[in-house]
Structure 1
Amino acid sequence: MSLIQVRDLTFAYDGSYDNIFEDVSFQLDTDWKLGFTGRNGRGKTTFLHLLLGKYEYSGTISAQVQFEYFPYMVEDQDQLTMNVVDEIYPDYEHWQLMREFSLLQVSEGVLYRPFASLSGGEQTKVMLAALFLKENHFLLIDEPTNHLDMHARELLSNYLQSKGGYILVSHDRAFLDNCVDHVLSINKTSIEIQKGSFSDWWENKQRQDRFELAENEKLKREMKRLAEAAERTSVWSDKVEKSKNNTRNSGSKVDKGYIGHKAAKMMKRSKSMEHRQHAAMEQKSKLLKNLEGTDSLKIAPLVYHKHQLAELDQVSIYYGDQKVCSDVSFAIEQGERIALAGRNGSGKSSLLRLIGGEELEHTGVFRRGSQLKISYVSQDTSHLQGNLTDYARSYGLDESLFKAILRKLDFARVQFDKDMAAYSGGQKKKVLIAKSLCEQAHLYIWDEPLNFIDVLSRMQIEELLLAYAPTLLFVEHDREFCRQVATKVVELPGIDGAG
């Protein structure tokens, strides 16, 4: 066991006026399986890079271990996979690598294939197997589940659960629950560490949020009462002051000392109330700092004139001589939220593109309703560049609505003027989701919409879909999201030889 100690850490990117971290102090145990969570753009990957020494910062980070980062950058992806493993860790023993491959259900044969020919899941498993061979290294694992199917996620989660310490960035709740024993969370104004699973952390956070909201309401009532009392005292003081003046002007022999004493007493009471009101305001300002706002989202689905929007009967899709999905049959009916499930390589994305209107070679019968309006969210975000205003105009979106949705998804206003190419993966995905929510459509087709998106935003999107019940066809490997949202699951059979 050794400690990673962070003291008075302050960091901002060059040219930025806002600190990502400011005077942050905490310590981590290298035996912990640490889940790392927080809204997109809060600095999770930045913190991992600070541990790696990639940026200059003020404060201190001390550790007795060396850090290794996943994903490992493979510059020449055309080389054999065995050479990639050699690059990561040249001193490994073959039997040790085979032990890790066995745990991850990776065949030895992948070592003799070009790394580029491996599926995303195979590449992830190979890199993690090689990195975990390094002794006295602490792994920083940054979102390993993106594009992995549910089976691969479960397998990887079990693998990590059997390992020693690491920091794991992931937004998949079921995945985290199975393989972490502590949670490090970047909140709005602090960094916290809690023992337990992600579900334990979330339950504690909800309890703390409820407490802060209740205290906030109590303070609001107290401040209102004090303000009203102060107003009454002010009125009384004015009346007393007028009675003093009237007595002086009329020459009456009223006890001026009594009136002066009463006025002073009222003034003292007024000052006391003012002091208590300021104290209540100061206490109130300390609350709600880490309460994460999750404003409700809206969508405006259109009602199609027929109950059935599309139908597939024994559909197979081909790319040249290669069949990517085989004999798929199902119908899409009004109000259904259909999850396409299946192993990586079973043709889920190809089916989405075909139903979305792309001309793909296929056999079988595919029928799509006439004048069907479709809103499509792609896996790919690489085309996003330029500013949000131009992007909204290019797609005919209501710019105010588009940006309002992004604000609800925790976009800071300062992001609106930046080039989208510089956005984080989660922020780019939120741009595509916000675009889709602006579009009126009969059918929404979303291909892995949650890649890189933080947990709280996932929950917002879940609530939206349950509240407005649009007709939705989607692919998503977040088990909890599918459990909450899907009204029907269509399981695609695998294709022999598919990665």
Structure 2
Amino acid sequence: MILLQTLNISKSFSANPVLSNVNMVLQSRERVALVGVNGAGKSTLLKIITGQMLPDEGEIQKAKDTTLGYLAQDSGLDTERTIWEEMMTVFEHFKEREKELRRIERQIADPDIIADGIQHEKLLNTYSHLVDQFKLEGGYQYEATTRSILHGMRFFPEDYDTPINQLSGGQKTRLALARLLLMEPDVLILDEPTNYLDIETLGWLEKYLLNYPGALLVVSHDRFFLDSLVNIIYELERTHVTRYVGNYTDYLIQKGERVQQQIRQYEKQQAEISRIEEFVQRNIARASTTKRAQSRRKMLERMETLDKPVGDLKKAQFSFDIEKVSGNQVLTLKDVSIGYEDAPLARHLSFEITRGERVALLGPNGLGKSTLLKTIVKKMAPLSGTIFYGSNVMLGFYDQEQENLNPVKQVLHELWDEYPTMQEKDVRTILGNFLFSGDDVLKKIGELSGGERARVSLAKLMLQKANLLILDEPTNHLDLFSKEILEEALEDYPGTILFVSHDRYFLNKIATRVLEMTPNGVISYLGNYDYYIEKKEELKELQSPALAPAIQTEAQEAKVESAASGKEKFRQDKEAKRAERQRQRRIEELEGMIEQLEETIASLEEELCKPEVFQNHEQALALNEELEAKKAELETCLEEWTELQE
């Protein structure tokens, strides 16, 4: 069923076309991504679809009663209500329904109504119907669902009473996403939903959206997210959209094949045109062949010529080099504590990095990963412990906040002032490689977009020729194509890299080792992000409460293993599979318990509606206590089921 479609949507700003005859279709349960370079018009199209902006031409068609939910980039809630109060506003209809049920319950218990058998029977039937409908629509589940989604978004019971206006911008955005998920619109439209989400939350969101009952339209620069989730991709390029079936990797393959096919068809036609033109020129003046030449000329005039395939959009081109080679031991931390005197973030951080390694630093938001990087590059002092730098180590730091950029300087002078011996044409050439050409280099830093500032920071980093790059979220603000260029540059880089990133595709491609940061140390995993996740899943499953203590002990030992032998890996894989089977059995057991508890609760509620129970206060009280106990038991089962599903 078609839920939403755009028909010949066009939009221009100051006579510059942004969208031209855009046609898209979104059907039930489809997972659709809209991709394109920064500035291509993706957010503009989403605003037109959601009615926040009018198109110059075309229209949006929706199926009857279709609801849209939209989360814009970096949008968040801002209210004096607490987290829980705000989430409960989604379920006002259930609250009203509950009030109605309580009202009918009081009427049913009224002695005068009980005495009127017909009216009492009518009320009981009405109440039974309303209870069934309330249950069917999720009236008994919405609080548990709310807790589950808040938990997925990393908000815990101790946070529920926090006023929303006291939260950070990132927390408000996550909360806005949680509220939208609770609303369950038919079409969920998300513009960069992965901003401000740590890796664990991203994984939870992917699993949740895979099972989302409605359709999804998403704009994201997270390639791992797109590969895991979407099955249709619309590419917005040069004001037009092209549809591809599959995930992001499928799209890249199909696009490459499509461009090659267009080039072959164009070249074939051009060769045919040249051959015909040559025949006409050779034979038009000869009496014996004039008619044939004229016929060929008419054929040429009737031919529908293909446009020359447009080459790729201009992309940034850069590489990182080093001035000199460092020693083999590049960086060593011994029992380092970081943070602030009154608020330490992490302690007992000890690790070594050797020349040529690409080390990813992972851990939950708020643990101090960026603080650790700033401590290593000497922008902050450690609270305790020591940091050793190897011989000939030259540090280069990419700050996700771009604090090293001067907002009042022009782009040209941001680089030239630091390298005054360079000629202006050379500085302009470098900036041209980062897509700053002509008058773009005269823009002030403060006027640039996030992606443009990121490219300026990368240009400065390239000029440093450092042999140890410390990168804090280097792919933030970069579009999909710029990320690929950065990855290519880092893959060819001859130095050492320590970086923080939430981009799992980037992590997989660049990292050769993962350091997981905890409040009391780091754990090393020798491998990329996939290897790290595999080991984390094994540990998580082996530590399940359903498992024997002996297996838990083995899991603790496995945690510190970074490179197991073939025999040890076989044993770990075998036990991981056994743990998975036990987890699945526990899930099935919980689902049976949940179903039984829901039936018991429904039965108790029906029992409480009977006249003889209402008239017996002691029996009614006992049944009500049993009902509350069963509800609490159901809540516990639902929470455990949710945790096992993650």
Q: Same fold (TM over 0.5)?
A: yes
Is 1:288 paired with 2:338?
no
After superposition, give the CA deviation of every residue in 1:106-156 in whole Å (9 maximum; x if it has no partner). 423322124366577754543222112325453321112124222221111
Residue in 1 that maps onto 2:414: 391
Q: Which residue of the other structure, out of 172, 178, 203, is the alignment partner of 2:222?
A: 172
Q: CA deviation at 1:31?
A: 3.5
Show the counterpart of 1:315. Answer: 336
Following superposition, the deviation at residue 216 of structure 1 comes to: 5.3
Q: Does 1:8 align with 2:57?
A: no
Instruction: Give yes or no for the alignment of 1:430 onto 2:455.
Output: yes
Q: CA deviation at 1:39?
A: 1.2
Please say if 1:102 is aligned against 2:130. Answer: no
1:188-246 CA-to-partner distances (Å, cap 9, x unmatched) read 352123333223222222222332344456567667x759x95x997x89xxxxxxxxx
What is the one-letter code of the residue matched to 2:144?
M
Change (3 A) 1:121 1:266: same
Q: 1:322 offset after TM fit, Å?
A: 1.9
Q: Distance in 2 between matches of 1:331 and 1:278?
A: 71
TM-score (norm 2): 0.62
Structure 1 residue 423 displacement after superposition: 4.4
Match of 1:194 in 2: 244
1:488 to 503, 513, 516: 513
Equivalent in the alignment of 2:62: 63
| Residues 376, 79 of structure 1: alpha-carbon distance in 2 compared, 3 angstrom cutoff | farther
Among all aligned residue pairs of Structure 1 and Structure 2, give the percentage whose two residues are the same amino acid: 26
Aligned equivalent of 1:249: none
Q: Note the C-alpha offset of 1:339.
A: 1.1
1:336 correspondence with 2:370: no
Trace 1:98-177 onto structure 2 (pairs within 5 A). 98-103=144-149, 104-105=151-152, 106-115=155-164, 123-136=172-185, 138-163=187-212, 164-177=214-227
Query: Retained in 2: the 8 A contact 1:97–1:130?
Result: no
Matched with 2:37 is: 39
Cα pair distance change 1:262/1:412, threshold 3 Å: same
Question: Which has the higher mean CA deviation after the structures are superposed, 477-486 or 198-207?
Answer: 198-207
Matches of 2:478 and 2:229 in 1, distance apart? 20
Pick one of 398, 403, 422 that aligns with 2:431.
403
Q: Indicate if the aligned counterparts of 1:143 and 1:169 stay in contact, CA closer than 8 A.
A: yes
Q: Residue by residue, what CA displacement relative to the aligned partner does 1:140-188 show, whole Å, maximum 9, x if unpaired?
A: 2111212422222111111111212121111222212222232222123
Work out the CA distance in 2 between the residues paired with 1:303 and 1:219: 53
User: Post-superposition shift, 1:450?
Assistant: 1.0
Contact 1:402 1:438 in 2 (8 A): no
Preserved CA contact (<8 Å) 1:345 1:494 = no
2: CA distance between counterparts of 1:198 and 1:79?
39
**How far apart, in 1, do the equivalents of 2:90 and 2:454 lie?**
30
- Structure number with the higher helix fraction is 2
How far 1:477 moved relative to its partner?
1.6
The one-letter code matched in structure 2 to 1:340 is: L
Alignment check: 8 A CA contact 1:92 1:133 kept: no
Q: Distance in 2 between matches of 1:76 and 1:261?
A: 81
Q: Deviations over 1:65-122 (max 9, x none)?
A: 4433225744647753235436777657695253143155342332212436657775
Alignment of 1:255-404 (within 5 A): 262=286, 265=289, 282-285=305-308, 287-288=309-310, 291-292=312-313, 296-369=317-390, 372-381=393-402, 385=407, 387-396=410-419, 398-404=426-432
Q: Look up the SS of the partner of 1:151 in the other structure.
A: helix
In structure 2, C-alpha distance between the alignment counterparts of 1:488 and 1:63, rounded to whole Å: 48
Aligned partners of 2:81, 2:60: CA distance in 1, in Å? 36
Q: CA deviation at 1:312?
A: 1.0
Alignment CA distance shift 1:297-1:361 (3 Å): closer
Over 3 Å counting, the alpha-carbon distance change for 1:150 and 1:46 in structure 2 is same
Secondary structure in structure 1 of the residue aligned to 2:386: strand
Change (3 A) 1:416 1:270: farther
User: Secondary structure of 1:303's partner?
Assistant: coil
Q: Quick check: 1:316–1:327 contact (8 Å CA) kept in 2?
A: yes
1:380, CA displacement in angstroms? 1.4
Structure ranking higher on relative contact order (CA contacts 8 Å, 6+ apart)? 1
Question: Which stretch shows the higher mean deviation, 110-119 or 267-276?
Answer: 267-276
Instruction: Name the amino acid aligned to 1:355.
Output: I
- Counterpart residue number, 1:246: none
8 Å contact kept, 2:395–2:467: yes
Aligned counterparts of 1:380 and 1:470: Cα–Cα separation in 2: 24
1:340 to partner: Cα distance: 1.0
Give the Cα–Cα distance (whole angstroms) in 1 for the partners of residues 302 and 390 of structure 2.
64
Q: State the superposition RMSD in angstroms.
A: 3.8
Helix, strand or coil at the partner of 2:471? strand
1:112 counterpart letter in structure 2: D
Instruction: Say if 2:325 and 2:495, in contact at 8 Å, map to a contact too.
Output: no
66 and 274 in structure 1: CA distance in 2 versus 1, 3 angstrom threshold: same
Task: List alignment gaps of at least 5 residues for structure 2.
Answer: 96-138, 522-646
SS at match of 1:205: helix
Query: Aligned in 2, Cα 1:127/1:441: closer, same or farther, shift over 3 Å?
Result: same
Q: Bigger CA drift: 296-305 or 145-154?
A: 296-305
* C-alpha spacing 1:435/1:275, structure 2 compared with 1 (3 Å): farther
Aligned counterpart for 1:461 among listed residues 486, 505, 527 = 486
Summarize the Cα distance change of 1:314–1:19 in structure 2 as closer, same or farther, 3 Å threshold: same
Q: Tell me what 1:256 maps to.
A: none
Deviations 1:17-59 (A, max 9, x none): 4211123233323532222211111111121222233334312
Q: Can you list the C-alpha shifts for 1:418-477, whole angstroms capped at 9, x where unaligned? A: 555454433433332233233322222211111232222222221222123332211112
Q: Distance in 1 between matches of 2:233 and 2:478?
A: 18
Question: Which amino acid in the other structure matches residue 313 of structure 1?
Answer: K
Structure 1 residues 44 and 189, CA, compared in 2 at 3 Å: closer, same or farther?
A: closer
Q: Equivalent residue of 2:322, what SS? A: coil
Q: Which amino acid in 2 is paired with 1:102?
A: S
Question: Is the Cα contact below 8 Å between 1:476 and 1:482 reproduced in 2?
Answer: yes
The answer to whether the 8 A contact 1:12-1:18 is kept is yes
Specify the SS of the correspondent of 1:12.
Answer: strand
> 2: distance between equivalents of 1:394 and 1:50?
43
User: Aligned partner of 1:392: which letter?
Assistant: L
Q: Distance in 2 between matches of 1:54 and 1:323?
A: 44
Number of equivalenced pairs: 462
Amino acid at match of 2:505: E
8 Å contact from structure 2 (residues 77, 173) kept in 1:
no
1:253 maps to none
Distance between the aligned counterparts of 1:220 and 1:480, measured in 2? 40
SS at match of 1:99: helix
Deviates more, 1:204-213 or 1:389-398: 389-398
- Relative to structure 1, the CA distance from residue 127 to residue 89 in structure 2 (aligned partners, 3 Å threshold; closer, same or farther) is farther
Alpha-carbon distance in structure 2 between the residues aligned to 1:456 and 1:261:
54
CA gap 1:52/1:424 in 2 versus in 1, 3 angstroms? farther
Residues 120 and 148, structure 1, Cα contact 8 Å, conserved in 2 = no
Work out the CA distance in 1 between the residues paired with 2:520 and 2:263: 52
Query: In structure 1, what is the equivalent of residue 233 of structure 2?
Result: 183
